[in-house]
Structure 1
């Protein structure tokens, strides 16, 4: 089993709060992690997709009274949102830390329900797919992580074909089962087309009108569908950074399908050779690097991008908490470390404490006093040290 860095965060949260919510997309490894913690703590584990386990909670107060001194893990709790009200009463009757660990794949529903009932009693931990700091860095491993994405079953599949089939099944399950179970009446084929269009647009500014025309829906409806994918932690809107510098700035957010493996599955890209010759290769790499860096960035980090009409551009701007300040990052899918002219122009506008060019190699080299070129692993490890 790959040791997940987030386990420490979950354990520490259980020491602080009565309830901890571990949220993230399906198949990201939440259940495996929770079962590992449950085994260490002699916890009660209930899978609420299992009818037998749901039946045990027909009277939650009475049933859970027998487990007052143990951690109780409730997997897929968004399937039974009515439980949140009961959990509040149970927690208040015997307030102690480490009472419940709840897991949910539908983050928006989980946040809404728990926010209504467990305010001040719950801490949220967001679980991401595997990143470059969590996998064994043998030959070709990081390229495999990029091609297959960070969902453990996909990354660990026996070959590229099996990995692609797993991701294709993942997409189908979301569209045909998970989203309808949330009570959302969205045609699966329409949402699939949107998701595929977003993969083609990886890293591009959001154009709701263009997307709406392709889907034969209104622009507000297209935005609502994108909101859904964002709330399910499947898509990221990266906002622009606004500065009062007297220059015209790009104002539309950029859109990314968060997992690179899902980008490739949506576009029918099965292996590294096919990806290397595909037009999305540069944008896919950019999204891969962004997700890896944000997964290790300290809590409180504000992420954005910067672009002016004159061509000054920075792919990722991190406003870090504490004294770290602002870091500016350009991402290049090449082993060349030479930054673009737009990089230097953006640095003049942004005035970052540090600037970096992240390339596809592993070599580190200085670009100037406060600017360096390095690979994605070293950059991720640098950010991890700030956490």
Structure 2
């Protein structure tokens, strides 16, 4: 059992907000966390993929009215969009009687944008949390390589061997393509979407070129863009925005694109062992995406993430912008003896960051230059989590 760092934030939100939406891919641990958090308060759990639990909501208003004194956990809530207007009314009813927090915990496998398309908004009554896979801070630095290879889904990470882990991830991908994704929009050919997903894995950390991807899978650019939007809404793909601030520089304007879970990257590319990974061309980009996902999962709310690249070669892999305007420039290196290249220094001259950091696979933290520090991924994640 892993302690999920998001648990404290989820508890805090439930203590101050009538409804909380906890969103993340299937099998990432949402239900386990929800039941753990609800253990110390009166609660009722409904799995809306279960016919028996859905039957309890045949008269949803009557059933939910009987549980206004409890936290009601609604799992896979996107399957019953008709509930949203009802929840709004029940929240307002409870507010009038003095209950202002901790009424509903909504678990979903899609981003809230998709939920809004099928239900009435709960604006002003709900807060949102995105749940990622396990991070290196949650598993411990000693499991970093295994976490990188297998990804952050608990069942994949805890498989008895590499072959079973890979088999689990391949089954996960197939289930998403054939069963889950068709729930969220028009019917998409599973093989077409698999090809796109695989191309994104090959292109891990590259600039997003929708027109080229569209040609490769035989669809128009608008259709390809909608497929990428869907994978992004399902929290399976990340589009990292470019930084734009200095009008005197010619900066890259395209987003970078990542398959968010490193284990899925490797499954899509049929990489089953660490030896296979280290000899594969995707190794550097895979490590970069793995570090970015871990760092952003640990970054406080309000911190914005970008990358920086100019036509002149200045580049920063990850730029964190804090709410007070402070900037952290982070370079990601797979080498155990990292060296900072000229492009990073040029970018820092443009950006003037408060911190210049190089994340590398080792565990020791030390100075590469007077103002540039090499740090371990685990140490930087811990720093981001420390208030």
TM-score range, shorter chain: over 0.9
Give the Cα–Cα distance (whole angstroms) in 2 for the partners of residues 7 and 43 of structure 1.
16
Give the Cα–Cα distance (whole angstroms) in 2 for the partners of residues 207 and 69 of structure 1.
51
Structure 1 unmatched ranges of 5 or more: none
Partner of 2:291: 289
Give the Cα–Cα distance (whole angstroms) in 2 for the partners of residues 262 and 100 of structure 1.
31
Give the Cα–Cα distance (whole angstroms) in 2 for the partners of residues 210 and 220 of structure 1.
12
Shift in Å, 1:248: 1.8
Report Cα offsets for 1:49-92 as digits up to 9, x if no partner.
00110011011111122212111111111111111111111111
* 2:45–2:73 contact (8 Å) kept in structure 1: yes
Compute the TM-score of the two structures, normalised by the length of structure 2: 0.96
Partner of 1:265: 267
Partner of 1:371: 372
Partner of 2:145: 143
State the SS of the aligned residue for 2:367: strand
1:338-377 equivalences in 2 (<5 Å)? 338-377=339-378
Which of 117, 124, 130 lines up with 2:121 in the alignment?
117
Report Cα offsets for 1:5-62 as digits up to 9, x if no partner.
1111111111111111111111110011112223322311111100110011011111
Shift in Å, 1:246: 2.3
State the SS of the aligned residue for 1:356: strand
Partner of 2:330: 329
Partner of 1:244: 246
Shift in Å, 1:245: 5.1
Partner of 1:381: 382
Count of residues paired in the alignment: 382
Give the Cα–Cα distance (whole angstroms) in 2 for the partners of residues 65 and 84 of structure 1.
14
Report Cα offsets for 1:286-336 as digits up to 9, x if no partner.
00000110001111111111111221111111101236x100011111111
Partner of 1:79: 79
State the SS of the aligned residue for 1:293: helix
1:104-253 equivalences in 2 (<5 Å)? 104-107=108-111, 108-113=113-118, 116-138=120-142, 141-244=143-246, 246-253=248-255
Partner of 1:68: 68
Cα RMSD for the two superposed structures: 1.3
Greater Cα shift, 142-151 or 28-37: 28-37
State the SS of the aligned residue for 1:117: coil
State the SS of the aligned residue for 2:22: strand
State the SS of the aligned residue for 2:296: helix
Counterparts in 2 of 1:158 and 1:111: CA distance versus 1, 3 Å: farther
Give the Cα–Cα distance (whole angstroms) in 1 for the partners of residues 268 and 299 of structure 2.
28
* 1:168–1:265 contact (8 Å) kept in structure 2: yes
Give the Cα–Cα distance (whole angstroms) in 2 for the partners of residues 366 and 54 of structure 1.
58
Give the Cα–Cα distance (whole angstroms) in 2 for the partners of residues 296 and 184 of structure 1.
34
Partner of 1:91: 91
Partner of 1:305: 307
Shift in Å, 1:112: 4.1
Shift in Å, 1:338: 1.8
Compute the TM-score of the two structures, normalised by the length of structure 1: 0.96
